């Protein structure tokens, strides 16, 4: 999900520079809703992820692949741009018979055989959004936005503003308002929290999330509402057992668009290294993000480095370029998260 959000400014930049462009996007169904309805994307092609993963060489998988390939060919795309550099993304340009295929960012696996490499440099201290935008610059959209990272000396500067063309329908906002009202949280500044992440070692201790939500509600009187997918229900049960105050949770009770609507209306969003961090940043919502081994300066919420908490630089047990013990995320304390969130919550409440 985060990769999709990070790539959307490329579509926005190209569309602004070349309004006549017809832009299609191909994404797996589990995350495609993030860009569904985007004003900068003309056609969304959806890959049924589960169907292909269950039996990748079965008859149904071949039928799906053939159908998607015909769908892509029917659009007569002239250029394919692969920002992921993976075989599973690069192959669609080949199957769609797209004559010009470019690869950007990291090109891994067999992609150098399928794509032409866009000559852009990668820097570990530069946000991936700007690295993706290098592809748009190279394709001719150079006048759309400044590049504040022309040299290593510029790495301390804030990220330049970019457009994240995400869309949430009114119906999703209305549904979220109704569900929040049932929790006693509608019409108030709220803190949204996502305790989940794609990998176990990216998850902050659930007991800390429970304590954090209790203290937010006790100290500022605003509702702390948890959000997550259906697969996060076990986390909800643990929160229910650990919290001292009543649990306010919409985990597994929202569509993806509704989850986006909830995050978008938050005074602050608190989470780990996960997709909702990037959705919040795209909507300009303040994010307090919790990072372990991964580098927040490269893949953290865009434009919000100062609120990306990480203890990785303090670790002396692991090699500088590799995390072995995966314990530094848990060194972040509840007090540190509260201290970072405090000015954001008080601003939402109108406190001086």
Better pLDDT: 72 or 330: 72
How far apart (Å, rounded) are the C-alpha atoms in residues 317 and 297?
Answer: 21
In this predicted structure, the answer to whether residue 333 has a pLDDT above a threshold of 70 is yes
* pLDDT score, position 104: 82
The pair of three-digit structure tokens given for residue 333, joined into one six-digit string: 């304390």
Burial 8-46 (b: 16+ CB within 10 A, else e): bbbbbbbbbbeeeeebbbbbbeebbbbbbebebbeeeeb
DSSP secondary structure letter of residue 120: -
How far apart (Å, rounded) are the C-alpha atoms in residues 116 and 107?
Answer: 10
Find out whether 281 and 303 touch, Cβ atoms under 8 Å.
yes
3-state helix, strand, coil split of the chain in percent (to 5) is 45, 10, 40
What is the residue extent of each domain of the chain? 2-154, 170-349
φ, ψ for residue 100 (rounded to 5)? -115, 120
Per-residue pLDDT, averaged over 57-72, amounts to 90
The pair of three-digit structure tokens given for residue 83, joined into one six-digit string: 């920002």
DSSP H/E element including 323: none
329: left (phi over 0), alpha (psi -120 to 50) or beta: alpha
CATH number for domain 170-349, candidates 3.40.50.2020, 3.40.50.2000, 3.30.930.10, 1.10.10.10:
3.40.50.2000
> What is the percentage of the chain residues whose pLDDT exceeds 70?
91
The pair of three-digit structure tokens given for residue 30, joined into one six-digit string: 């589990």
Q: DSSP H helical segments within the chain, as ranges?
A: 2-17, 29-32, 49-54, 59-75, 87-95, 128-136, 170-182, 206-220, 233-242, 256-264, 275-282, 296-299, 334-349
CA nearest 29: which of 8, 49, 43, 11?
A: 49
Question: How many other C-beta atoms are found inside a 10 Å radius of the C-beta of residue 110?
Answer: 12
Poorest-confidence range of 149-153, 258-262, 290-294? 149-153
Per-residue pLDDT, averaged over 40-56, amounts to 87
For 204-247, what is each residue's pLDDT tens digit? Answer: 999 999 999 999 999 999 999 999 999 999 999 999 999 999 99
**pLDDT band at residue 20, thresholds of 50, 70 and 90?**
very high
Question: pTM of the prediction?
Answer: 0.90
The pair of three-digit structure tokens given for residue 167, joined into one six-digit string: 């869309």
Please tell me the total number of residues recorded for the chain in this structure.
Answer: 352
Indicate the SS3 state at residue 271. strand
Q: Tokens 């199957």 belong to which residue?
A: 95
**pLDDT band at residue 52, thresholds of 50, 70 and 90?**
confident
Beta-bridged to residue 268, according to DSSP, are 191
Report the CATH superfamily, name and number, of domain 2-154.
Glycogen Phosphorylase B; (3.40.50.2000)
DSSP secondary structure letter of residue 253: S
Indicate the SS3 state at residue 202. helix
Side by side, the strands of the sheet bearing 308-310 are 248-249, 224-226, 191-194, 268-271, 287-291, 308-310
Better pLDDT: 192 or 113: 192
> What is the percentage of the chain residues whose pLDDT exceeds 90?
68
Average pLDDT, the chain: 89
Poorest-confidence range of 147-156, 167-176, 300-309? 147-156
**pLDDT band at residue 201, thresholds of 50, 70 and 90?**
confident
CA nearest 266: which of 227, 297, 305?
A: 227
Same fold, 2-154 and 170-349: yes
* pLDDT score, position 148: 44
């Amino acid at each position: 999900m985060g990769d999709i959000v990070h790539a959307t400014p490329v579509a926005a930049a190209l569309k602004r520079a070349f309004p006549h462009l017809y832009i299609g996007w191909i994404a797996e169904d589990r995350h495609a809703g993030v860009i569904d309805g985007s004003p900068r994307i003309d056609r969304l092609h959806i890959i049924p992820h589960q169907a292909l993963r269950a039996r990748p060489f079965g008859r149904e998988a071949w039928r799906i692949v053939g159908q998607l390939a015909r769908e892509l060919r029917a659009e007569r795309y002239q250029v394919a741009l692969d920002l992921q550099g993976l075989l599973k993304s690069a192959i669609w340009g080949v199957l769609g018979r797209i004559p010009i295929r470019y690869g950007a960012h990291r090109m891994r696996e067999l992609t150098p055989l399928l794509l032409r490499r866009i000559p852009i440099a990668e820097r570990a201290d530069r946000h991936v959004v700007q690295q993706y935008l290098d592809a748009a610059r190279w394709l001719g959209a150079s006048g759309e936005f400044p590049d504040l990272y022309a040299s290593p000396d510029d790495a301390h500067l804030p990220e330049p503003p970019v457009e994240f063309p995400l869309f949430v329908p009114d119906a999703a906002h209305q549904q979220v308002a109704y569900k929040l009202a049932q929790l006693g949280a509608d019409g108030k500044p709220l803190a949204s929290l996502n305790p989940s992440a794609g990998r176990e070692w990216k998850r902050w201790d659930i007991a800390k999330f429970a304590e954090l939500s209790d203290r937010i509600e006790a100290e500022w009187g605003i509702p702390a509402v948890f959000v997550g997918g259906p697969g996060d229900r076990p986390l909800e049960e643990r929160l229910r057992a650990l919290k001292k105050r009543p649990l306010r949770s919409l985990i597994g009770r929202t569509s993806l668009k509704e989850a986006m609507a909830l995050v978008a209306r938050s005074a602050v969003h608190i989470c780990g290294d996960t997709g909702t961090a990037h959705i919040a940043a795209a909507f300009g919502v303040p994010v307090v993000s919790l990072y372990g081994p991964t580098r927040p300066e490269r893949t953290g919420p865009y434009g919000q480095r100062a609120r990306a908490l990480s203890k990785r630089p303090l670790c002396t047990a692991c090699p500088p370029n590799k995390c072995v013990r995966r314990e530094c995320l848990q060194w972040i304390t509840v007090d540190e998260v509260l201290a970072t969130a405090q000015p954001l919550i008080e601003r939402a409440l109108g406190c001086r």
